[in-house]
Copies of this chain bind each other. A is one copy, B any other.
């Protein structure tokens, strides 16, 4: 078996931030050629010593020195990990020094929270936004549209639901979504129920061939997934967006994070935390 270098993401909390930045960095170096292991909740010396053992033994097994990305606040814990036989890059230690100088104060050295915790108001905001997304998914109900920050509109499988959920979880945004179904597309105009909310609408469109793939995965050999049908739907949906001036974006290539961030950026909606 081919030997692969191991990349570790080590954190005293979830490791999610260390993973995101570490993966982004490794993607600059043909990122698929590495094994990835996340070690979360390394928050005391015992766990730090166990982590070092895992790191060192991965290095021996593969015959290649591991790379360790970490976000460790506690100096003692970090000092232990630092002694592992690896290229050690800590996202905290590197930047705390310059920040202390600039701000003229010492850092608190408490284990930090990158995410809205249950102890603060942002948490309830987040949960309410998730509930809003669920209650207003797929046009189930339009009653609460007056409360919505944004209403995503598009054909079935254009990415509306995951984008709404991500907007809720990441930014606390109240996002509903409304599917354009065949009747709407045939009429060639915005559904009446959406008209009062025109300023809140944002359209998602997608390349027909990609849409076909996604639908095929769900219902193979259906009219729903046929080339004619997806071309028709996408064209008609875009016609409606243009006719009434609904801004829209193409979701064929971007990730859910990128779609959500683009919606925020282009609509100017304020995130709620």
Contact = CB atoms under 8 A, between A and B. Distances in A.
Interface of A: 5, 13-17, 20-21, 23-30, 40-41, 65, 67, 71, 73, 87, 89, 91-92, 94-96, 98-99, 102-103, 105, 107-110, 112-119, 123-124, 126-127, 130-131, 134, 137, 159, 161-162, 165-166, 169-170, 210, 214, 217, 251-258, 260-262, 265
A23 B114 contact: yes
Contacts of A26: 99
Copies of chain A in the complex: 2
B124 A27 contact: no
A165 B65 CA distance: 36
B17 A107 contact: no
Interface of A is mostly: helix
A114 B26 CA distance: 10
A89 B40 CA distance: 25
Contacts of A262: 41
Contacts of A92: 24-25
